[in-house]
Structure 1
Amino acid sequence: MTGVRLLTAPTTGPDDISALELLADNGFGTDDVLAVVGKTEGNGCVNDFSRTLASAVWEPHLKEAAVTVFSGGTEGVIAPHVNLLVADDRVDPRHQRGLVAAAGTTPAIPPAELGRVAHMESVRDTVAKLVAELGIADDDVHLVLVKCPLLTSTDIAGLRVMGVEPVSDDTYESMARSRAASSLGIALALDEIDTDTALAALEGRRHAWSNRASASAGAELKSCHVLVVGESDKAANSLRALHTEMKDAYDLDSLLSAAALVSERGGRIRQLFVKAEADPSGTIRNLRHTMLTDSDINATRHARAAVGALVAAIKGDGAVYVSGGAEHQGRPGGGSVTIVYEVDPPRFTPYNTTSEGIAR
């Protein structure tokens, strides 16, 4: 069981690892880091090498079991930053519950399998393994972050030489197919959908999704990096989490409702992990949008900018994790939402009132 702390720090660029100082200031070392989850100021598309640079400078400082998840694209008000998920098994007796996390990687995803059943099953098995390691129920999981590979033009050409048809001959579309397979694997692992539903969804139907899945794709890795975050009665720290979804790109009500619930629980928002996408129907609340037909700016960039403004307003600053491309991560046109928040310890009372009277 691994209780966690969350440390968030702004970055001056993809190569900025000054958050290591924040780590040390809080009494932790690099071996305590389970995952580095960040937003980098690239385009978030196939040739976003800001993700590659961030991974390259961070990974030499981390233990082999740790993972990096860098999402490119800080359009609009989203601020470049990193979130450090740090193992902290210290027990605070004032808390009877706490946030836990586990990280791992799938085996390498061969280009021929990317976006297909084997890819989905590999993520499913890895997520299930991590949930079992944490010893928590599926319902206690609030977020599964996956960083998955994409197909490069070299990958596609190599498959064609071997007589193998890739899942897509478009590198940008391969990102979507990779995110889809990863997200459906998460939904399977958490028992949110059955195998038949997942297989149909993998073929392009958008009738299945998980509100706890967050997947982003990049050229900086060949396997999938996986981070599972949940709550456990066996941990004792001040962090908690909840998950919900945005029904469309300006579903402010869902964000406000989640923030109100955090407040009711006596919590303060520490971070939001949100997926965003251009509604594939081409409309939002019966009005046409042009995100999918803009030849100058990719649709994922539009979506991140729009949703990022809402999410930043809820948190009160721009260091929010908003990732574009939400295939099976929340309903079509919407997106999954996870809020990590901090609560004050309950006030100590020497007696507890029960139905049996006063018990010491």
Structure 2
Amino acid sequence: MSRQAFVHRIAMTAPDDVSGLEAAIARGAVDPACVVAVLGKTEGNGCVNDFTRALAARALHDRLGAAPCCVMSGGTEGALSPHFTVFEVRTSDALPVDDALAVGHCRTPALPGQHLGRLAQVDAVAAGVRTAMEEAGITSPDDVHFVQVKCPLLTSARLAALDREGVAPATRDTLKSMGLSRAASSLGVAVALGEVVRDDLTDEAIGRDWELRSSRASASAGVELMGHEIVVLGRGRGWSGPLRVDHAVMADGIDIEPVRAALARLGLASTGQLDRHQRGRLKALLAKAEPGASGQLRGYRHTMLTDSDVSPTRHARGFTAGALAALVGHAEIYVSGGAEHQGPDGGGPVCVIVEAA
């Protein structure tokens, strides 16, 4: 006996559109009782008031129940295609395979607002990552290739509640609270994976010391939750099936060669864009994106940080998605903006899931 992971990309026509999921269930391609996580790209602004994430999560939970982790990332700028990536875990009679994809998930308790962006949030996420690893049978941090975290943010109502309690938040800026939440969550992943030493961290370092980072963390903040939804992808004991996983780190928004190398390691070697057959074997491409703080990309000035009309994260998602889409031949990819402590400044981690030949 073993466990086997299945990954399905399902197109959406609107944030609450689960007709594609319904069709997959009807034809037997997806067993709703086996779904453990759904990652979605919704067509909102990706900022504090992006309720497309909550709408999509509600539609999914209405169909699948409360058990699966639903990580909705707002923003499909450029040609990014709105879609769900559905993760199933089924039991199998097949013998375990050492490098088969393993999936673990965890949901943490609600985080008191005063802890957002502080060490208590780091600790909560680190504990959740360890729980998800244990659930997946992953014993070594080296076997973890990607950790997706959905984390909370502060709203006006939540700030008012803190005022009534007489406690001070890390910030009163709701938009900045998104960045601090992503930052603390990413450092929690880094602590759990041994990339950062917990005793070296302080509240002041969160969202400021960019030398502290994870090469496998992806964090997305949203208004639709108070705790954390955590999905761990890697290689664990007792898993079978043809799916394989690897990761890369982009140094900047057009650094596609590490991603090409990861694809090659999984059997999708190509000197150009993936061909049609290779694209069929690519089950998921998950990435982080952010504009570099210097305001330059390889010596050339960019305006992502100075555009007063469009958020920098929106620019970065569309820009990086275009580079990755040119590599793999389609834009149904998961690109999340805001990469605080997630890879180097201006770059970010990338995960690829491929069906073995």
8 A Cα contact 1:99 1:235, kept in partner = yes
8 A Cα contact 1:91 1:236, kept in partner = no
Change in CA separation of 1:119 and 1:2 when aligned onto 2, cut-off 3 Å: farther
Count of residue correspondences: 344
Q: Aligned partner of 1:175: which letter?
A: M
8 A Cα contact 2:190 2:213, kept in partner = yes
8 A Cα contact 2:244 2:266, kept in partner = no
1:257 aligns with 2:254: no
Q: Aligned partner of 2:100: which letter?
A: G
8 A Cα contact 1:2 1:88, kept in partner = yes
* TM-score (norm: length of structure 2): 0.91
CA distance in 2, matches of 1:311, 1:91: 37
Q: In structure 1, which of residues 167, 171, 175 is the aligned counterpart of residue 170 of structure 2?
A: 167
CA distance in 1, matches of 2:80, 2:287: 12
Residue 117 of structure 1: how far off its partner (Å): 0.9
CA distance in 2, matches of 1:320, 1:307: 11
Residue 91 of structure 1: how far off its partner (Å): 4.1
Tell me which residue corresponds to 2:158.
155
1:98 aligns with 2:100: yes
CA distance in 1, matches of 2:108, 2:163: 25
Residue 96 of structure 1: how far off its partner (Å): 5.1
8 A Cα contact 2:146 2:217, kept in partner = yes
Tell me which residue corresponds to 2:274.
none
Residue 313 of structure 1: how far off its partner (Å): 1.9
Tell me which residue corresponds to 1:183.
186
Post-superposition CA distance 1:110-153 (Å, at most 9, x none): 11111111111001001111112222221111111111110001
Post-superposition CA distance 1:48-103 (Å, at most 9, x none): 11101001111122243311000000000110000110012224459554111121
CA distance in 2, matches of 1:94, 1:337: 26
Tell me which residue corresponds to 1:113.
115
State the SS of the aligned residue for 1:244: strand
Tell me which residue corresponds to 1:278.
291
Q: In structure 1, which of residues 216, 221, 231 is the aligned counterpart of residue 220 of structure 2?
A: 216
Tell me which residue corresponds to 1:71.
73
Q: Aligned partner of 1:326: which letter?
A: A
Tell me which residue corresponds to 2:301.
288
Residue 210 of structure 1: how far off its partner (Å): 1.2
Instruction: Compare 241-250 and 149-158 and name the one that shifted more.
Output: 149-158
State the SS of the aligned residue for 2:88: strand
Gaps of 5+ in 2: 271-277
Tell me which residue corresponds to 1:355.
none
Instruction: Compare 292-301 and 14-23 and name the one that shifted more.
Output: 14-23
CA distance in 1, matches of 2:297, 2:269: 33
RMSD value over aligned CA atoms? 1.9
CA distance in 1, matches of 2:25, 2:180: 36
8 A Cα contact 1:7 1:23, kept in partner = no
CA distance in 2, matches of 1:182, 1:147: 9
Gaps of 5+ in 1: 345-360
CA distance in 1, matches of 2:85, 2:216: 18
Q: Aligned partner of 1:194: which letter?
A: V
Tell me which residue corresponds to 1:242.
246
